[in-house]
Structure 1
């Protein structure tokens, strides 16, 4: 079913809870692709009932970002959710979630000051605000996110811990296209030439992972190798290339002794793409 109001969601969840059902939740901004579908299918497999949200959240976009042009096709998204076995899709209007005189913000310090947070001021405040609302409305047992948005996963886990939300935050592996490009709704913005050039992201990260698996422990060298490989692509414009601690997201200097996140953000034309790998030294997560 397609639901537009908060009260409808709460009434449905109350009924499911009375039946003793576990509830999975997959928050999305729509323009669903195989990455989203993998999250939806995992949620369906691991829970009695599943709700997905389709909401292009205005508070996480900066003034010069693509809120107005972000792809929207609720009928296609709803059909994909149904095909994955989702029980309900919450698709509110902005006015349903945000009052005109709202005065509350949600800010996670530290984790939001680096990587995409440093490049997109206020972005994670908007993410945390909308997820706080959605967690309160849906009251899920588990919420599912993609590892491609690794910083978001870390931020949401910290927020959930600090605010005592009773939800398990589950990160699922990155889903990639045949050539290795991480699936993203923003891939639709790429020209054919830009899309071919963007394959350098996974290529450079895969080589970094191979180097670390072979024993390389210098964060500086890994950072430099990834940056040099991406910079060699004429259509690529680097926003950042970082090797950070997997837990606190602080840049790693010198040898890597704990799990690390190798993260990149790169422009191809006007489209900004992110990608990452996690390694370390005994742990590896793609």
Structure 2
């Protein structure tokens, strides 16, 4: 299969069709409609890793066709953040996608990614885009009351950028099902709410799936494209966040007091920080929060079995990491 490219753009060779414009993708999508085929969708910013591939395999196994997008979204980066240095590994990404296959149900053939959507910034933001929110023009999506807690408290405006670009991607791809990772749990839950509030049919809220975090088999570090920023010394201490969240989880179960649980977790992280300093690595906590998965409000009291999102962020050297654990009953959140 040949690639479909914007005339002025040269991309690495790929056996998977690459769509550079919304118009070309919609032409492909209309054909899928006529053939009554389901379309799964995985949204990425590239720099693919095993976490992305896990989402892709879920889509391939459950849908007739699968689209994966690669778009580094300027609207979700603050002016001080890493838009210009965000990992870009397109050649390796395309090779990985070509290698990723799952068995076709009831046949001897295999499914592979059906199409790659790589829109231009101009196509995604026809009115132009700047990282300075005060200078932005055009239409943007904000999920009021649900974007300032947890991760949004440290990154004001982040979820406005996420909601906007994902709405655009959903409008372009019109997925039957879409797949997001638990590592970005607030993002997935917020987007599910957005689908409900905006009455989206592609996907319907119940067809936005949040899949469990994929972790390093060595130390449990949540896989992330930004892990590429970690130096070898940083990497030795990067699992401190997940370990700290597990300490908090155990303390929450035993003490049933949020403040005491977080206090114990931070004391543990302080010990890990001292060990890191011996390697010349600075660990700095950003937050540890416990929130309701529906309202994102802070959870104060322990209720047996009640779902709680325990999330955290910290700096390891110059790299900011996030992670979370679902406490209690995760039914209705994951899957």
Superposition deviation, residue 211 in structure 1: 4.5
Aligned partners of 2:329 and 2:182: how far apart in 1? Answer: 19
Q: What does residue 126 of structure 2 align with?
A: 99
1:239-271: CA deviations, max 9, x gaps? Answer: 111111122111111334531011001011121
Matched, 1:275 2:291: no
The alignment status of 1:218 with 2:257, answered yes or no, reads yes
Q: Which runs of 4+ in 1 moved over 4 A?
A: 281-286
Structure 2 CA distance for partners of 1:173 and 1:29, relative to 1, 3 Å? same
Distance (whole Å) between structure 2 residues aligned to residue 103 and residue 10 of structure 1: 22
Displacement after TM superposition at 1:208 (Å): 3.2
Name the counterpart of 1:120.
155
Question: Equivalent of 1:181, from 221, 232, 235?
Answer: 221
> What is the alpha-carbon distance in structure 1 between the residues aligned to residue 329 and residue 73 of structure 2?
37
Report the more deviating stretch, 220-229 or 181-190. Answer: 220-229
Equivalent in the alignment of 2:4: none
Tell which deviates more after alignment, 37-46 or 68-77.
68-77
Give RMSD over aligned pairs: 1.9
The alignment partner of 1:105 has SS state of: coil
Partner of 1:250: 297
SS in 1 for 2:213: coil
Task: Rate the CA distance shift 1:282–1:151 in 2: closer, same or farther, 3 A.
Answer: closer
Match of 1:140 among 153, 175, 185: 175
* TM-score, normalised by the number of residues in structure 2: 0.81
Report the CA distance between 1:227 and its aligned residue.
2.1
Quick check: 250-259 or 119-128, which moved more? 250-259
In terms of mean alpha carbon deviation, does 160-169 or 202-211 score higher? 202-211
Which of the residues 69, 73, 83 maps onto 1:53?
A: 69
Query: 1 CA distance for matches of 2:263 and 2:200?
Result: 39
Matched, 1:198 2:247: no
* Residue pair 2:251, 2:264 contacting (<8 A) in 1 also: no
8 A Cα contact 2:152 2:159, kept in partner:
yes
Deviation readout 1:76-107 (Å, 9 max, x if unpaired): 11222222221111011211211135421100
Matched residues in 2 for 1:30 and 1:282: separation?
A: 28
- Superposed displacement of residue 186, structure 1: 0.6
157-166 or 220-229, larger mean C-alpha shift: 220-229
> Structure 1's 281 and 8: CA in aligned 2 closer, same or farther, altered over 3 A?
closer
Q: CA deviation at 1:200?
A: 1.1
Is the Cα contact below 8 Å between 1:52 and 1:81 reproduced in 2? no
SS at 1:81 equivalent: helix
Q: Structure 2 vs 1, CA of residues 224 and 181 (structure 1 numbering), >3 Å: closer, same or farther?
A: same
Instruction: Please give the alpha-carbon distance, in whole angstroms, between the structure 2 residues aligned to 1:147 and 1:268.
Output: 21
Which residue number in structure 2 is paired with residue 87 of structure 1?
114
Aligned partners of 2:209 and 2:334 also within 8 Å = no
- The match for 1:169 among 198, 202, 208 is 208
Change (3 A) 1:256 1:230: farther
Could you tell me which residue of structure 2 aligns to residue 160 of structure 1? Answer: 195
Whole-angstrom CA distance in 2 between matches of 1:93 and 1:247: 34
* Matched length: 285
Unaligned segments of structure 2, at least 5 residues: 1-16, 101-111, 129-136, 274-281
The 10-residue stretch of structure 1 (76-85 or 236-245) with the greater mean CA deviation from structure 2 = 76-85
Deviations 1:220-244 (A, max 9, x none): 2222222222233323211111111
Structure 2 contact 46–72 (Cα < 8 Å) conserved: yes
Equivalent in the alignment of 1:240? 287
